[in-house]
Chain A
Amino acid sequence: MTSLDHLLLLSALTVVVMLAIGNRQAVGWIATLLYSAQGMALLLMSDLGYGTAAAVQSGLSVQVLGHQLHWRFDALSWFFALITIGAALLSSWFSAGEWAQAYRRHGGSLRLFHTALALNVLSMLVLLASGDLLSLFIGWELVSWASFLIMALGSSTATRYAMRYLTYAFAGAMAVLGGLALVYSMVGSFQFQALKTAAPSMDSSSLWLLFLLFAAGFGVKMALLPFHLWQAKAYAETPGPGAAFLGAISSRMGLFAIAIVLVQLIGIARLVEMPIPFSFLSARDLLAWIAVFTIILPTFTALRQHDARRLLAWHGIGQGGYMLLGILIADDLGSAGGLMHVFNHATYQAMLFMTVIAVIHRTGTSDLNQLGGLVARMPLSFVAMLIGIIGLAGLPPMNGFVSKWLVYRSLILDGSPLLFLGAVIGTLGTILSVYKLIHNTFLGQLRLEHENVEEAPLSMILPMMILSAVVFITGYFPGLVLDWVATAQAAMGLPALAHHLGGVASDKGGLDMIWIVSILLAGFAIGTLVFFSGNRHKRVHQLDNYAGGHFLTAETRYQYSDNFYPGLMHLIGPWYRKSFRWLERGFVSTVDTVSMAMQGLYRQAHPSLYLLVVVVSALSWVVIQ
C-alpha cells in the first residue's frame, strides 16, 4: 500500500461513512473531519508538490484484455488534488452548522448531499491519479456521473440543466472514446508514454481528428464555447455549499484532462505545426481563440444576470478561459499563470459562493433586485465578498491579479495583441459585473424586511475568513503557490517558472507582489491619515441623503440591478438579442436541414434524384479518370 492508496481508500471510506450515517445532524462535522484526514494524507505526499519526490504509484493495477490500467500521482495531480480536497473540506465545514438544519427543514436530504459530495471528491481523485488513457477515461466517466448526482439534488431548474449536462457529457464521453479508439488504432497502446513518443510522427489529418475529439470531449466539462449552455444554471441551483465546491473545482477537471492529453502528450509544439487550411491559424490558435471567446461572452452574459449565484456561475465559465489560454501559450510564464489561476479561482470562487449562500441563508433570496444595504448587518460577509470580487476581477493586492498578470505578460512576450485584448476585455467586464454584485447585495438601500437581519453564523463565517486569508496571503506571497505550479509545469514537460516568494524576477519586467502590496497598504495608511486630517465627520441614516428635492422613505425602493449599465447595454445589448440568437438559430436550422436530408435519404423520398446523383458522380469519376 502506497500513500496514494491510503488517500484513495480514505476517500472511499468517506463515501461509505456518509452513506451510513448520512441523516444525522453532525454529518457535516464528520465529513469535515474525514476531508481533513484526506488533506493530511495528501500533505504526506507534499514532496510531490515541491518536486523532491518522483511520482507515487498506486499498488492497484488491473489487467483488462491485455491492457495495463494503473494509477499514479505526480506534481500536477497533487496540485489539483490539493484544491479539490481543500474545496471539499471548506464546503462541508460551511455546510455543517446552521445550513444543515435549514436544509433539512426545507426537505433536503443530508445523506444524499454529503454522499454526492464525497463521491465527487473520490471520482476526481481517481481521475487525477490516472496513469494511462484508459484509466483517464474511467475517471472521466466517474466524474461526469458524480457531478450529475450533486447537481440533480437541486431545484427543478437544476435538475433540468443537469439532464442537459448529461447529454453534453455523454456526447463528450463518446468523443473521448472515439479519440481513444483512434489512439489505439494508431499507436496500439493506451499508455501515456506510447502516445507521447508517437505524436511527433503522426500525420496531420489524423492528429487533427484526435485534437478535435479530445478538445470537444474535455471541453464540455470546462464549458468551453459552444458547449457552455448547461453549466451556469446547473451549478447555480446546486444546493448551497455544493455550488461552492462545483464552482471551485469541478469544471477544472476538463482543464486537467486537456493539460494531460493536448499539452503533455501531444505537445503544444505539435499543435502549432498543424495549420488550419486556407488561414494563417494553427490548431493551437483555434483553441486559444475559443478560450478567449469563452472569457468574453460568458463574462458579459454574467453582467446581465440578476441572480447572484448565476452571475458567479457565468463568471466561473469565463475564468476557465484564462486557464486554458495560459496553458496553451505553453511558455514558462503563461502556463504558470494558467495553472496558478486554477488555484486562485478556486479560492475566491468558493468564497464568493459561500457569501452568497450566507446571504440566502439569512434573507432567503439571491435575487439582486430584492437585496441591498446588508453591509451594516453582515459586515464579515461583506469583507469576504469584497476580497473575493477583487480577486475575481484580478486587481492587486489579491491572488487573482498574479495569475492574470502572468498570462498577460506572456501574451505580450508572445506578441499576440488580439488574444491579449480579449483577455483584458474579459477582466474589465468582470469589474463591472462584480461591482454590480456587491453593490446590489451589500451596498445601496437596505430593504425594510431586512432591517433585523443578522450576521451569518460562525460555521459559515470561519470558512469564508480562512479563504479570505488564503486569497490575500497568496496574493501577497505568490511564491507559495508558484512553488507547486513550477513543479506541476515540470511534470507536464513544460519549462518551469523561475520565481521567488514575491513573484517573478525578469529583465523584461518582473513582478514583486511583496513590494506592490506593501506599498498599497502604505498608500491606504497615508490615505487614512489624509482623511482624518479633515474636520470631524458625523454619520447619518442612509435615507438622510439628497435626492433632488424628493424625500426618500423606506417604502420607496430605488435599488435596482436590471439594466444596471444602460449605457453599455444600449450598445452591446443588441448583439445578445440579435447576433448570438441569430447564430444559435442558424446552427439549429443547419442541424434541422441535415436531419431532414438524412430522413429523406433514409425513407428514400426521392429515389430518382439519388439515382441521378449516383449516375452523375459515377460519370464524372469516369471522365476525370
Chain B
Amino acid sequence: MSMTELIIELTLMPLVAFVLGLGMVLMMRRIAARIQRRVGPPFLQPLYDIIKLYGKQTQISHGLIHEIGIIMAVGGYVAAETLLPVPGMNGLADKGGAITLAYVMMIPSLGLALGVGQCANPNGSIGISRALTAMLAYDIPFILVIFGAAYVYGTTNLADIIALQQQQGPGGWGIMQMPLLAIAGLLTLPAMMGKHPYEIYVAPAEIATGPMVEMGGKFMGGLFVMQCFQLYTVAVLYTTLFLGGGENWLTFLPKIFAVVAIPMSIAYVFPRYRTEDVVRLMWKWPVLVGLMGLAVIMK
C-alpha cells in the first residue's frame, strides 16, 4: 500500500467513525424514547447538538489542563479509530493490535479525568472517582474477552482475526467458536459504552455530581464527540472479535448497529446501579462467564 493511500485511510477512518457514531447516538436516543413511549429526536438532532454546543457564547474554561483534557478525550479516540479495521480499510491494525487498542482506549478516560480534576469542583472529583472505579470494573471482563480471542485465533492483530473468521464463514465467527466469551462481552458492553444501567458516574438527571458538572459549551461538545466515538469503537471491536467483522459495508453496518441496539434495548429497562454494585456485578457475572469460556477454549 502506498503512503498516499494509507494517509487517505487514516483520515477517513476517524471521519467514518464520527458519522456512524452520530447515527448510533441517534439510534440509542430513539430506542430510549420508544421504551419510554416518547417520539424521540429528529434525524439530525445529534449534529444539531454538537453545533449548538460548539457555537455557544458562554464557554467557561478552568485552566489549560481543563482544555487539554478535552483534547485528549477526543484525540485519543481519533487515534484509536485508526487501529480498528473496517471493511476496505485496515489502517494501522498491524502496528498495534488488540492489546494496544485496549490501552489506547484508556487515554480518553485519563484525559477526561485530568480535565475534570483541573475544574476544582468537588462534585467533579466524585464523578471521576466513580468513573475510574467503573473502568476498573468493566475492564477486567473485557480483558478476559481480548485474551480469549487472541488465544483462539493465535494473534493479536485485529485484521488477521477478521480474516480468519471470514475464511470459515459464519461457523468460524467468534460467537460460534467461543460463545461463553461472547456472552461475557455482551454483558460488559453497556458498561464500556458508559450507558444504562452503569452510568451512575454521569447521573445526568439526578444530582449535580459527575464529570460533566463544569463542562459547558465546546467542552460538553467535546465529550459528545467522544461519546460518538466510544459507541462506535466498542461496537466495532465486538463485531471484530465475535461477528466476523464485515466483508463489506452492507453486512458490516447492520452488525455494528445491532451490537449497540441489543444491549441498549435491554439496559434501558433497568434502573442505575450504584458504583459498588457495578463493581460487584462486573466482577461476578461477566468474569465468571468469561473464565468459564476460557476454560472451555483452553480445555
Contacts and interface: CB of A to CB of B under 8 A. Distances in A.
B117 A567 contact: no
Nearest to B122: A558
Nearest to A517: B79
B55 A534 contact: yes
B147 interface: yes
B198 to A, nearest CB: 12
A435 B132 contact: yes
A438 interface: yes
A226 interface: no
B174 to A, nearest CB: 16
Contacts of A421: 140, 143-144, 147
Given A417-B298, A537-B59, A571-B280, A444 B120 contact: yes
A538 B75 contact: no
Interface stretch (B22-30, B218-226, B264-272): B218-226
A510 B97 CA distance: 7
Contact of B133 (A415, A432, A526, A540): A432
Nearest to B61: A537
A509 interface: yes
Sorting the interface of chain B by its residue count into under 10, 10 to 19, 20 to 34 or 35 or more gives 35 or more
Given A395-B110, A567-B279, A545 B217 contact: no
Contacts of B155: 507-509
A526 B75 contact: yes
B60 to A, nearest CB: 6
B244 interface: no
B154 interface: yes
A438 B95 contact: no
A417 B103 contact: no
Contact of A396 (B92, B107, B217): B107
Contacts of A538: 59-61
Nearest to B91: A519
Contacts of B154: 508
Contact of B100 (A405, A525, A570): A405
B103 A395 contact: yes
B263 interface: no
A622 interface: no
A523 interface: yes
Nearest to A414: B151
B135 A523 contact: no
A446 B118 CA distance: 10
A435 to B, nearest CB: 5
B54 interface: yes
B197 to A, nearest CB: 15
A528 interface: yes
A424 B98 CA distance: 14
B71 A510 contact: no
Contacts of A559: 125
A515 B93 CA distance: 11
A66 interface: no
A99 interface: no
Given A432-B136, A443-B120, A558-B122, A545 B214 contact: yes
Interface in A100-116: none
A509 B59 contact: no
Interface of A: 372-373, 375-376, 382, 386, 390, 393-396, 401, 405, 408-409, 412, 415, 417, 420-421, 424-425, 428-429, 431-432, 435, 438-439, 443-446, 502, 507-512, 515-516, 519-520, 522-528, 530-531, 533-540, 542-548, 558-560, 564-568, 570-571
List of 4 A-B pairs having minimum Cβ-Cβ separation, nearest first: A567-B275, A534-B218, A527-B75, A443-B117
8 contacts: A439-B117, A509-B160, A512-B95, A523-B76, A524-B75, A530-B222, A545-B62, A567-B274
Given A567-B274, A571-B279, 14 more contacts: A395-B110, A412-B99, A428-B139, A435-B132, A443-B120, A444-B117, A508-B156, A520-B75, A523-B75, A524-B76, A531-B67, A535-B217, A537-B61, A538-B59
